[in-house]
Structure 1
Amino acid sequence: MAFRILIVDDSTFFRRRITQILQEDPELQVVGEAKDGMEAIRLVKQLKPDVVTMDVEMPVMDGISAVKQIMAQCPVPIIMFSSLTQDGAQATLNALDAGALDFLPKKFEDIALNKKEAVILLQNRIKALARKTPATTLRPLARLRESLARPKASKSGLGSHSSGLARSESSNVSSVSRSYSNKTYKCLAIGTSTGGPVALQKILIDLPASFPYPIIMVQHMPASFTQAFANRLNELCNISVKEAQQGETVKNGVAYLAPGGRQMTIEGHSGSAHIKISEAELFPQATYKPSVDLTFESLSKVYGGDVLGVILTGMGADGREGCRALKAKGSKIWAQDEKSCVVYGMPQAVTVANIAESNFDIGQMASQIKAEMLK
């Protein structure tokens, strides 16, 4: 049976274009179209689609308002179409906060080398979302909204959630049967893709301002989005978060987000590491820009076995080989568990390869990191 898709966009041309692309795949069936957010809400209730594609700017009701109401009334996986501009990035991040699971640029040439590649990417992203039931897919988003309802964090470490394991969520640690190692650490590394913005926020917002290690993050995201995403994380979190820049020294207590569209590696040694940002063309073997594999492999050369590597929700297998390199040096590798992933691709890849030592629900990941690293 084909997955049922509802397309929401005020452009008749774009709706027709997306319909043609999706219906080239026998696993996808477009069951309806809406020209504004209000009509989308009505049709979601009436048609009960498996996935909704949603435009941001529309008359009568915009996409973000529609997402909020759909998620409150009849939750369904939603993928946003947005422009690759600063305003588009802000709007898309707002849509993810409202409950959307994924996003793609409206100009397909921005994400693919040719039409065929773009068509396959769009079809696969929608099928990946459709395979998750709303109850399991949307659980991490509900948890994130609870996190965002807290008072604004304090960079001084005196904020409302700077007490580390003393916070109430520490009860989650005892509910998971595992013993913590006596390893020493010098770096936390996180790699993610589809569903990652929500998962990253959930983890970082729960880390204390006094977190004593650098955090290296790779999120598959367009170049125009990573700066806006880093800024948003910085506003929400106790720790400092920034988009990584060429040549800067890696500092403890700072989270560095790899710039979209390029590659980030870490060079030097653990006592004096620095960031190198390279044009993607220098690494033709890397499918993703940025690539978790490339960044994690560089960390294995700088920090050896003193890294906790974490792979979160995402399509594909990026991160598996980078995690393999880290584990070979003695580092620990964890992965998000299947039930809390938007797409169980990247975590599954490291788990099936017997690289991941433990799998955790996204709601428990921050507590587990603190229990392991803040001894």
Structure 2
Amino acid sequence: MATKVLVVDDSSFFRRRVSEIVNQDPDLEVVGVAVNGKEAIEMTEKLKPQVITMDIEMPVMDGITAVRHIMASNPTPILMFSSLTHDGAQATLDALDAGALDFLPKRFEDIASNKDDAIKLLQQRVKALGRRRLYKPIARANATTRPLTSHSTGKPTSSLTSLRSKTSGASEQPVNAASVSSIRASGKKYKALLIGTSTGGPVALQKILTSFPASYPHPILLIQHMPAAFTPAFASRLNSLCKIDVKEAQTGDTLKPGCAYLAPGGMQLMIEKAGALGRLKVIAGNADMNYKPSVDITFASASKAFGSDVMAVVLTGMGADGREGARMLKAAGATIWAQDEASCVVYGMPQAVTSAGISSHSIALDNMAEAIMKETARG
């Protein structure tokens, strides 16, 4: 049975183009279109789509407000379309904070250099989101994209809406999902924590990093598949929300405890041996690389720089980026964990390392921060 899709955009040309692409795939079907956020809310209630594609800037009601209302009343996987600008990045992050699960550039030439590849990627993203099933929040405060201020740190805290979700056909708690209590700290001393992710990653990273104390004893490297226009805004947002420091990585950065370094979009992040903790190098990398940044490349460089003194975590995302880099880390004696299936937006990257026998634990997102701190608490 085809996945039902609602297309929301105030441009008749874009509505028609997206609808044509979606309907080209026999596993997808556009069941309705809406010209603004208000219509999107009404049609979501009426048509019960399994996926919504949503524009951000629209008359009557913008996409972010519509996302907030839909996630409160009829939680549905939402794919945002955004411009690759600073304002577009900020708005997209607001939409993800409101409950959207994924985003793509609105210009198809920004999705992929090849038209056919762009079409295929859009169809893949919609189908991946269509496998999610979202349910109303277990407990809900007033929905808002404005971050609340923490009295203890002076920094804002996350305002993300907590929704129950699972993959169609997957159990709510897979049998291989490890609880925090079941994890015994290995006692290893680490030099760095590495986290790789893609689809669903911005929300997952925010949830994990906002739980870390300012005194977290290790540097953290973040590899998130994200356009170059978005990573400065994402790093700035994480820094405003977290007790630890977060910055976009730059060549020459010396790794420091309690600081997270976000790989720049469109580039590759490498680790070099230098001093006690190492130094970062940002390079353009090969033009034919599928991912910029690539989790595999950063993980591989960490295996050479740190050997076994690394903990690497693979979070939600499409594809298998991170598997080969994690394999190299595992061979060097590093610790590899993965997010569990039930809490992933897309169980692709974590499944790749889990199925290959590389990760030692599969952990739910809600438990990930506590489990990481339990394992890496020693400085």
TM-score above 0.5, yes or no? yes
Counterpart in the other structure of 1:64: 64
Counterpart in the other structure of 1:18: 18
Deviations 1:42-75 (A, max 9, x none): 0000000000000000000000000000000110
Deviation at 1:247, TM superposition (A): 1.6
Matches within 5 A, 1:152-231: 152=150, 176-231=181-236
Counterpart in the other structure of 2:100: 100
Under a length normalisation based on structure 2, what TM-score does the superposition of the two structures give? 0.90
Deviations 1:143-202 (A, max 9, x none): 9x899876437669x9999xxxxxxxxxxx975423221211110000000000000000
- What residue identity is the alignment partner of 1:74? N
Evaluate the alpha carbon distance shift between residue 224 and residue 367 of structure 1 in structure 2; reply closer, same or farther with a 3 A threshold: same
> 3-state SS of the aligned residue for 2:240?
helix
> 3-state SS of the aligned residue for 1:134?
strand
Residues of 2 paired with 1:77 and 1:270: CA distance? 45
Matches within 5 A, 1:251-266: 251-266=256-271
Deviation at 1:271, TM superposition (A): 1.2
Deviations 1:12-61 (A, max 9, x none): 00000001111110000000000000000000000000000000000000
> 3-state SS of the aligned residue for 2:132?
coil
Contact 2:128 2:346 in 1 (8 A): yes
Deviations 1:204-257 (A, max 9, x none): 000000011100010000000000000000000000000001122111211000
Deviation at 1:111, TM superposition (A): 2.1
> Unaligned stretches of 5+ in structure 2?
159-177
Matches within 5 A, 1:261-280: 261-269=266-274, 271-279=276-284
Counterpart in the other structure of 1:371: 374
- What residue identity is the alignment partner of 1:367? E
Contact 1:270 1:303 in 2 (8 A): no
Structure 1 window deviating more from structure 2 (360-369 vs 264-273): it is: 264-273
Counterpart in the other structure of 1:249: 254
Residues of 1 paired with 2:233 and 2:65: CA distance? 20
Evaluate the alpha carbon distance shift between residue 236 and residue 367 of structure 1 in structure 2; reply closer, same or farther with a 3 A threshold: same
Evaluate the alpha carbon distance shift between residue 27 and residue 174 of structure 1 in structure 2; reply closer, same or farther with a 3 A threshold: closer
Evaluate the alpha carbon distance shift between residue 159 and residue 86 of structure 1 in structure 2; reply closer, same or farther with a 3 A threshold: closer
Counterpart in the other structure of 1:168: none
Structure 1 window deviating more from structure 2 (188-197 vs 321-330): it is: 321-330
Counterpart in the other structure of 2:338: 335
> 3-state SS of the aligned residue for 1:223?
coil
Q: Does 1:89 align with 2:96?
A: no
Evaluate the alpha carbon distance shift between residue 159 and residue 193 of structure 1 in structure 2; reply closer, same or farther with a 3 A threshold: closer
Q: Does 1:293 align with 2:291?
A: no
- What residue identity is the alignment partner of 1:226? T
Q: Does 1:302 align with 2:305?
A: yes
> 3-state SS of the aligned residue for 2:311?
strand
> 3-state SS of the aligned residue for 1:133?
strand
Counterpart in the other structure of 2:168: none
Contact 2:179 2:367 in 1 (8 A): no
Counterpart in the other structure of 2:320: 317
Evaluate the alpha carbon distance shift between residue 228 and residue 78 of structure 1 in structure 2; reply closer, same or farther with a 3 A threshold: same
> 3-state SS of the aligned residue for 2:68?
helix
Counterpart in the other structure of 2:128: 128
Structure 1 window deviating more from structure 2 (224-233 vs 173-182): it is: 173-182
Deviation at 1:285, TM superposition (A): 5.5
Structure 1 window deviating more from structure 2 (283-292 vs 48-57): it is: 283-292
> 3-state SS of the aligned residue for 1:221?
coil
> Unaligned stretches of 5+ in structure 1?
162-172
- What residue identity is the alignment partner of 1:349? A
RMSD: 2.4
Under a length normalisation based on structure 1, what TM-score does the superposition of the two structures give? 0.90
1:356 equivalent among 351, 355, 359: 359
Contact 2:335 2:360 in 1 (8 A): yes
Q: In the comparison of the two structures, how many residue pairs are matched?
A: 358
Identity value in percent: 58
Residues of 2 paired with 1:146 and 1:57: CA distance? 18
Q: Does 1:78 align with 2:87?
A: no
> 3-state SS of the aligned residue for 1:67?
helix
Residues of 2 paired with 1:270 and 1:362: CA distance? 33
Contact 1:155 1:239 in 2 (8 A): no
Evaluate the alpha carbon distance shift between residue 148 and residue 302 of structure 1 in structure 2; reply closer, same or farther with a 3 A threshold: farther
Evaluate the alpha carbon distance shift between residue 248 and residue 130 of structure 1 in structure 2; reply closer, same or farther with a 3 A threshold: same
Counterpart in the other structure of 1:35: 35
- What residue identity is the alignment partner of 1:193? S
